[in-house]
Amino acid sequence: MPRDKHYQFNLRLLRLGRTANTAFGPSFSPGEPRELEQRPWEGIEGASLYVGQIYSNPPSWADFIRTKSPDLPADLFASGAGAVLFVPSGGRILAICFGHVHIALNDDAFVRQFGLKVTLNSVSREHLRSLDTATPDAVTVQKRVQTSRDSDLQAFGVDMYRDLARVAAGTPKNKKFAQFVAGKDALKIVSNDKPDQLQALCDRVLEMYLRDEYKTDFSWIDRMQVVSEKDLITQLDAKLFDALARLRAGESADLHMSPPEIVDYTEGNQLHYNEFGSNGTDFQSLSINDYISELNRCQFEGEVLEIKEKHYISAKKNDEEKFDQKWKIYDCFIFETSLGVDKNARHYVLFAGSWYCVDQDFKAQVDEAFDALEKVNIVGATLCLNERELIENLVDTRNDLLKLDQEKINPKGVRYGSLEPCDFFSAEREFIHLKDGHSSGSISHLWSQGVVSAEAFISDHDFKVKLRRIVKSESDKKASGIAFEELLPMAAQKPVRTDFKVVYGIMRKPYKDGTLGLPFFSKVSLQAAVRRLEEFGIPVAVELIQKPASDGDADEDE
């Protein structure tokens, strides 16, 4: 008996209040020069089909080839057609997309995470095939893990405290629903539905979307809920615009940029910041500092809505000639903020173009864990403006601290590891790691430095020998009267782990209420480091080092 033919469908869900006519981007909307042709669709009441040529351009490689073969055909074109079928279902409208039609659609017209929710509702944790996650931070880590066959969630290395699920794929529990599903905002579904069965396909996909079965195996994704209320998004965007204004004025803000999706860097990229008069300036990577510089250079005076709707990143690969729109700049922002006070306070993060509200119980758990950590006062408040100034000041003023900043040690079997044991080793046997919490780098990177150094100290004989040698050399140079090397174990001795301590010192400007704190996701990532250090049996402490804030430059959000 022949097997049924399977088809791959790409489905999206229109937001409430949106219609087919408002689902297209500006150039492709009805009445615009590139509008798609509307045609009937038989058999589904209220369905409408739009079809047409999405693009047609000379291939980027043609000019290169013409240099040695000038008589190439003149009608060489790289082109892409597309179609979208809008199907009413259960009071909603689903869009079945074909070809390159996604280029013609307005992403803001569609429900975010629709495909992800359908996938996680229909796939159990034991039948995942691929999972993309991201950790929103100053340096965002995006990760894709794929397995050769269906596997349990544990195989994907998810940190349920830090990771934000972005894309998932796997085999549904119910094979009648589909053979395979994968989803982010859109849903890719492999099924045997024929053209006259698309109504049934949309009905069962919408029904699956409305379920909450994902809570059984993937409840951790609810720690970050997408914000959909327009009034709330307007308030949050105003906070974002204020952070941009502070950066443009030379002040500080915990605002960063990151690609909103996994990028193939082997292809190479050149970037432009476009649509506000910034023309022709090439950049090699996303940077909030570059974007701010371009805004100021071009004397941009628009509002946040203009940034949100019109500012784009254009990009081209190294082997291409033409820059094409790649991402909205708004979709590249990483930003944390809060609204409300005391018990009514809510914490939010902007990532990949969506605002997320952090679950209150999760936030309380993270804050409680941070508050429970030992707080120390080794450095104290400083007038230094950055980490480099602070290190130089401590070298000049503190005999009880031995500078090991820039001292590199290769662990056993590693030639170019260049592991830095710490910034300072104290007379109290503290490994002190320092970071300017307002620099462009990630605070979370500091946590891993402390863990890697501590692990080498307790488990790597060669590291321990080299560390003692460096400490003696630096101690002799310092001539403070403290023999710092004697505070470390001899080569043949195992360190008494509780005699030592890892201290994280982070320079922070005070909030407007005068308190000091860390961005929420820096606290989240700190938990993993603390758990690891506790496994080593080494105590850990934190010092928030107050640094100067110029007039009006106190951080706004706690």
Tens-digit pLDDT profile for residues 277-299: 777 678 878 889 899 999 999 99
| Residues 39 and 133 placed together within one structural domain of the fold | yes
| Residues 264 and 370 placed together within one structural domain of the fold | no
Overall average pLDDT of the 360-386 stretch: 94
Angle at 168 between CA 119 and CA 525, to 5 degrees: 125
| Residues 351 and 363 placed together within one structural domain of the fold | no
**Residue with the two structure tokens 């204020």:** 242
pLDDT at position 552 is 43
pLDDT at position 1 is 44
Distance CA 553, CA 512 (A): 9
Find out whether 469 and 461 touch, Cβ atoms under 8 Å.
Answer: no
Distance CA 191, CA 352 (A): 30
- For the four alpha carbons of 124, 126, 130 and 133, in that order, the dihedral sign comes to positive
pLDDT at position 335 is 93
- What are the tokens at 433? 């790691």
On whether residue 504 sits in a domain, the answer given is yes
pLDDT at position 69 is 82
Distance CA 34, CA 121 (A): 37
323-337 pLDDT tens trace: 666 789 999 999 999
- Give the mean pLDDT of the chain: 88
pLDDT at position 263 is 73
| Residues 365 and 459 placed together within one structural domain of the fold | yes
pLDDT at position 266 is 47
Is pLDDT at 386 greater than 80 in this prediction?
A: yes
Distance CA 89, CA 92 (A): 5
Question: Which range among 70-84, 189-203, 332-346 shows the weakest confidence by mean pLDDT?
Answer: 70-84
On whether residue 35 sits in a domain, the answer given is yes
pLDDT at position 278 is 74
Distance CA 385, CA 394 (A): 13
Reported as type and span, the H/E element at residue 34 is none
Distance CA 352, CA 134 (A): 10
DSSP string across 41-76: -TTSTT-EEEEEEEEEE--TTHHHHHTT-TT--TT-
Q: Over pLDDT 70: what percentage of the chain? A: 92
Give the domain-ending residue among 304, 326, 355. 355
Give the domain-ending residue among 186, 220, 254. 220
pLDDT at position 76 is 74
225-234 pLDDT tens trace: 889 888 999 9
| Residues 74 and 109 placed together within one structural domain of the fold | yes
DSSP string across 132-188: EEEE-SSS-EEEEEEEEEEE-GGGGT--TTT-EEEEEEE--S-TTT-SEEEESSSEE
Q: Which amino acid is at 225?
A: Q
The four Cα atoms 551, 554, 556, 558 give a dihedral, to 10 degrees, of -160
Is pLDDT at 551 greater than 60 in this prediction?
A: no
Query: How does residue 416 score in pLDDT terms, banded at 50, 70 and 90?
Result: very low
Backbone angles phi and psi of 435, in degrees to 5: -155, 135
Is pLDDT at 204 greater than 90 in this prediction?
A: yes
On whether residue 318 sits in a domain, the answer given is yes
On whether residue 225 sits in a domain, the answer given is no
| Residues 351 and 369 placed together within one structural domain of the fold | no
pLDDT at position 355 is 94
| Residues 321 and 425 placed together within one structural domain of the fold | no
Overall average pLDDT of the 18-37 stretch: 90
| Residues 287 and 372 placed together within one structural domain of the fold | no
Q: What is the three-class DSSP state of 324? A: strand
Count the domains in the chain: 3
Backbone angles phi and psi of 328, in degrees to 5: -70, 140
Question: Which range among 59-63, 95-99, 353-357 shows the weakest confidence by mean pLDDT?
Answer: 59-63
Beta-bridge mates of residue 169: 130, 182
Most confident of 65-74, 262-271, 283-292: 283-292
On whether residue 66 sits in a domain, the answer given is yes
pLDDT at position 211 is 96
pLDDT at position 441 is 62
| Residues 397 and 471 placed together within one structural domain of the fold | yes
Overall average pLDDT of the 67-89 stretch: 84
DSSP string across 389-450: HHHHHHHHH-TTEEE-TT--BPPTT-SS--B---SEEETTSEEEEEEETTSSS-THHHHHHH
pLDDT at position 259 is 86
471-503 pLDDT tens trace: 999 999 988 889 999 999 987 889 999 999 999
What is the side-by-side order of every strand in the sheet holding 324-328?
270-274, 312-316, 324-328
Find out whether 263 and 132 touch, Cβ atoms under 8 Å.
Answer: no
| Residues 506 and 375 placed together within one structural domain of the fold | yes
On whether residue 403 sits in a domain, the answer given is yes
Is pLDDT at 470 greater than 80 in this prediction?
A: yes
Query: How does residue 373 score in pLDDT terms, banded at 50, 70 and 90?
Result: very high
Range of the domain at 367: 359-546
Overall average pLDDT of the 9-17 stretch: 96
Give the domain-ending residue among 161, 195, 220. 220
| Residues 297 and 440 placed together within one structural domain of the fold | no
Query: How does residue 254 score in pLDDT terms, banded at 50, 70 and 90?
Result: confident
Tell me which long-range contacts 200-203 makes (C-beta under 8 A, separation of at least 24): 201/9, 201/11, 201/96, 202/11, 202/87, 202/89, 202/94, 202/96, 203/89, 203/90
Is pLDDT at 409 greater than 60 in this prediction?
A: yes
pLDDT at position 73 is 78
On whether residue 343 sits in a domain, the answer given is yes
On whether residue 556 sits in a domain, the answer given is no
Q: How far is CA 137 from the centre of its chain?
A: 6
Q: What is the CA radius of gyration of the chain?
A: 28
Q: Which residue has the higher pLDDT, 535 or 419?
A: 535
The count of other CB atoms within 10 Å of the CB of residue 192 is: 14
| Residues 453 and 369 placed together within one structural domain of the fold | yes
159-192 pLDDT tens trace: 887 888 999 999 999 999 999 999 999 999 999 9
